[in-house]
Structure 1
Amino acid sequence: MKIQKLTVTHLLAMTAGIVIFISSWAIDTLFGGISAFRIFLAATLLLFIWDGFLKGHMRKPNPGEIGLILFVIWAILSYFWSLKPELTAAVIEYVYVAAAAMFIVTSRMSANVKLWRFFGYAYIFGCVVASIIVINNAADFAAQGERASVGELNANYIAYSLVTSIPVSLALLTTKRHRLWFRSMLVGSLAMTMFATMITGSRGALLAALLCILSFFVVRATRSFLKTMLWVALSGIGLVIFWEYLPGEIRERLDVFAIIFSGNASSIDLSGRADIWPVAIQYFEDNLLAGIGAGAFKGVNPFGIEGHNVFLTVATETGIIGLLIYALTVFYIFFKLIFQSKTREIRNAGIAMLAVWTPIAMTGVWEGSVVAWLVFGWLLAASRHEADPLLATTKQRRRIRFAF
């Protein structure tokens, strides 16, 4: 058996895989006083540049990369007029630059289908680890009257990361013919993700998960109605079973869905969002063109919290210019995924990603999320992949068998 020589590309793939694996649950884990995530991200960037130098070429940036880079540059410039320069410097260094780096590295390396699958499995496995930790810690967090999480990470961050894995799982399930045991593992990871998301008590994440699964089923119902209805029924049964194992405090938080259906939406506790949004709007109106500085809003509002709305936060902190760049970049990504993907499966995954991202973006702190942007890059790369010939042959055989 011939042993393949270890190259810079192999090392790059390994470090990128590690970064993706730990992004959902170990982003604040320290190694020698430094974030392990940032150590591996720095190594990945250095290897990425080195690999490109050795190959002697670098692919031209696509509109998504250009848009994100321009947004980061504008965020950096906002430091000079920021109301809180120290917060601006921190959000640029720890949030926006990391997100842009992950988006570019993931989207470019995932042009290789094998690496694309490797990164997808790495992210799914990371979310399984996060789910196990959340489920294992649930009783301890509940005893302290807190929502289950991983270490000191915000419970919403964990929940948003977990539900973002759903479009990844759906893309992996539908773009290749897998053995039954492997498909069962992926479906099992989806179930574990849903249960862990419910335990975190994140209402926005649970809504995102439900919309994602519903949109995916609706799209597939046009081709396989009976199978879709079966999966809908099984999903509903699973949610009912999961509900019985939730701590009482978490059930009370999730009762918001019953309140919405009862028509009493005005009585919902939005955890300060209803108070913070008008403040953000006022700052935006007073600093229309350039904003108050990236990351500065948390330091200037009387509540001391983030905006909890992606577009409102971007508008407040970077003005109309930043909002326009950011919105066009996100629009390009979803337009490419939903309308220009080469395969139906990635189009469906793009719709699922939109269903996940939208409620999170409307209620959460997700504008510079490393997780969101690495999955954006991962799916964007898949939009250029050709369909798997074996999968097409398998589908044709199934249609023939059904016909006869």
Structure 2
Amino acid sequence: MPSVSSVRSVPPGGARPVTVVGIGADGWDGLAAGSREALTAAEVLIGGPRQLELLPSDCAGERIPWPSPLRPAVPGLLAAHAGRRIAVLASGDPLFFGIGRTLVELLGADRLRILPHPSSISYACARLGWPLEETEVVSLVGRPAAALAAALHERRRLLVLSAGADTPAEVAALLCDRGYGPSRLQVLEQLGGAGERRIEGVADTWSRPPGDPLNVIAVECRRAAGALRLPVVPGLPDEAYEHDGQLTKRHVRAVTLAALAPAPGELLWDVGGGSGSIAIEWMRAHRTCRAVTVERDPVRAGRIERNAAALGVPALRVVPGAAPAALAGLPAPDAVFVGGGATVPGLLETCWSALPPGGRLVVNTVTLESEALLADWYRRHGGELVRIAVAHAAPVGGFTGWRQAMPVTQWAAVKPAVEGRAADGGEER
């Protein structure tokens, strides 16, 4: 009977597996025996130019550097060498922000044999004495530096996967811009290799010239005095947003996000984005949460993009245009928020139709006309219909009284598996 390892090494149909070998800055000397054997036996070696240069002449296979852009070229490149022994080189652990993920998505795990190497993050934690499970990792490879902003919290330890030699200076500038200038930076270059070195400094006085492009940046977050504190839960301070008054205010925003109930990997449609606060805080709930915001005013659309970058979710997709027409062709949502324009003909119908069973629709309104519409949708589809009233203490002469904000009516419903049966106690039709 064949061993478990031999069964796993042969994909369905008997096709040759593609071997993916992780390699570090220590090159050939740092590889385990199995990784060396796979590379020596390969007839085709695919990787980045730097990685290919680390291999000795004993690896006699044809060397092919990755083209750019990489992902579209992968299927054709592998197909061109079908039937040959192919080895793909990856930096460190191939499935940790590496090429391994792309190959699994395109080929399937059964067609791969993955031989990992310690990642640069493992090396960095070993050098710093930081527990790996308590250290947050942010990749800026192929991503804007603004993606780091959502991870900034007092006393947090971050490891940043650098895009190149200029990344440390970009990170320092972003830290200063976001109120974290006192943060300590350590740039760890060529981890595990002969040229390994460490450069230290503080963000607000960082003046180091660009160093080795192969680096990881360790950040010990320290917030400057007076800098705005941004929590991890919904309901960021209103001052965190650039806006023209079109902003779902803090307390209502927290209630709205609770009703939308974001979960990892889910997609939100934010219809009538305003300042983008609902979509932004949806995406801040988890790094895999996604959102599309639709805004008809081009000035506000630009403002949403700036807010998203400032608050660490630059991947927020902003679609300029008026709903419901602008919703055509968007990927199916897991939840929809309508913050304005509920009475536009066909809008709620379009949003409800786009949701899968179990999807959530949340609508906020402040007008009597929209409130009447929500009451009808509540009668037909059930859910929850609530009124949110917030009052703030304010001076009244020499005393203090309550100043009432305009109340918000909110309807929230979960789409049932079978249409026609109202959810949560509403009237059936």
TM bucket by the smaller chain?
under 0.3
Higher relative contact order (CA 8 A, sep 6+): 1
Give TM-score, length-normalised by structure 1.
Answer: 0.23
Structure with the largest fraction of strand: 2
More helix by share: 1
**Bigger Cα Rg:** 2
